[in-house]
Amino acid sequence: MGIRAAYVHIPFCEHICYYCDFNKVFLKNQPVDEYLDALEREIELTLKQYPTDHLETIFIGGGTPTALNEPQMQRLMEIIQKHLLPLTGDDLEYTVESNPDGVSEEKLDIMKAGGVNRVSFGVQSFDDGLLERIGRTHREAKVAQTLDAAAKRFDNISVDLMFGLPNQTLDQVRYDVSRALQLPITHISSYSLILEPHTVFAIQERKGKLPLPTQDLEAEMYQVMIDTIEAGGYAQYEISNFAQTGKESRHNRVYWENDEYYGFGAGSHSYINQTRRANIAPIPHYIKAEGLPVRKETPLTNVERMEEEMFLGLRMKDGVSLERFQTKYGVAFEDVFGDVMKRLLPNGLVEQTETHIRLTPAGVPLANEVFAEFIGEAQVQ
């Protein structure tokens, strides 16, 4: 199977959220136009060296893609239209990440005209006080206004919500979910706070100044999210993702199915020819790079690929397809991970059907522990 997906990174933000560790910089005084030139150059070189015959998804993320002004957004759309859209078909999923307070109606029109058919909004919460505490600049009223404008142009809209935030309460989580379900959306991603190194929150935590919920309360928040979102008509199809029927994120599924994808832009990652690649992250160095701006290449062995197949694929509610595993790696799942399953099955954290290996409801909250069981355990002759 050829490369199915393309991720395009726009590393500019108008503000920096306290929890974010993605490759990003303040927008002011940045060489945005030069960056877009370098981005186009990377796309051209990559497609020449690693061609594909059909892209199923394009995802523009960041940073904050909608931090670009209107002419810059138009230029970005033209780059995609010239180099990537010719590789797609009628089944394309084309997403742009957006901030509720950073996208004008003109930008939405530019995106729509450029072929975008899905928009993802980083809402995180509807509590104005909590939004301020995590470094977000939008407020609840702006979310409704922006999503109303987006819904006039797009029929596939996702929102991100967060839980496990400093001083967050269970009632706030309930309100966030119930409020999201009132909006014209088709998809919800719900993520717990992860303290990444070098973020504002990580620094505060080291100083003992970050009042986080207990593990038990965070687990309760997660369960409340699951129950409330599913009661609202959305199916949980992955550990952190819920969708109306037919509106699952096809781009993210490429990652979870451990298939190959392009990653364009400063600091982006790609998976091509069984090799994971990381791009140069500093923007000036990315712009000046001669040839492909790759900083690191990590070829994967067949064993490493099979292990990744498990800890990525088990994130999905359907789990890992036994038939697909054998087709992809030329060996039966039982011959590789049979001993692991003998240990896991009695614990009730995973189950094996005729077609799949998947987490049980009891296994979902302990997913990371299950994933770890597959690392270094492949039995290959």
DSSP class per residue in 262-324:
EEESTT-EEEETTEEEEE--SHHHHHH-SSS-EEEEEEPPHHHHHHHHHHHHTTBSS-EEHHH
- Summarised one tens digit per residue, pLDDT across range 81-104 is 999 999 999 999 999 999 998 899
Other C-beta atoms lying within 10 Å of the C-beta of residue 32: 20
Same fold across 5-256 and 302-373 = no
| Fold category of 5-256 in CATH | pyruvate-formate lyase- activating enzyme (3.80.30)
DSSP 212: P
At residue 381 the predicted structure's pLDDT band, cuts being 50, 70 and 90, is low
Spatial distance between the Cα atoms of 135 and 126, rounded to a whole number of angstroms? 13
- pLDDT reading at 150 higher than 60: yes
Cβ-proximal residues to 138 (8 Å cutoff; 6+ apart), any chain: 99, 100, 101, 123, 131, 146
- Hey, which CATH number is domain 302-373, 3.30.1780.10, 3.30.43.10, 1.10.1740.10, 1.10.10.920? 1.10.10.920
- Summarised one tens digit per residue, pLDDT across range 276-313 is 999 999 999 999 999 999 999 999 999 999 999 999 99
Select from 228, 225, 247 the least CA-distant residue to 237.
247
Query: Tell me, what's the pLDDT at 144?
Result: 94
Task: Share the mean pLDDT of the chain.
Answer: 93
- Summarised one tens digit per residue, pLDDT across range 222-275 is 999 999 999 999 999 999 999 999 999 999 999 999 999 999 999 999 999 999
Spatial distance between the Cα atoms of 366 and 360, rounded to a whole number of angstroms? 10
Domain positions in the chain? 5-256, 302-373
Find the largest Cα–Cα distance for the chain.
Answer: 60
C-beta of residue 347 within 8 angstroms of C-beta of residue 341: no
Q: At what angle do helices 322-329 and 302-313 cross, to 10 degrees?
A: 160
* CA end-to-end span of the chain: 25
- Summarised one tens digit per residue, pLDDT across range 153-189 is 999 999 999 999 999 999 999 999 999 999 999 999 9
Residue 188 tokens read as 């919800």
Query: Tell me, what's the pLDDT at 380?
Result: 72
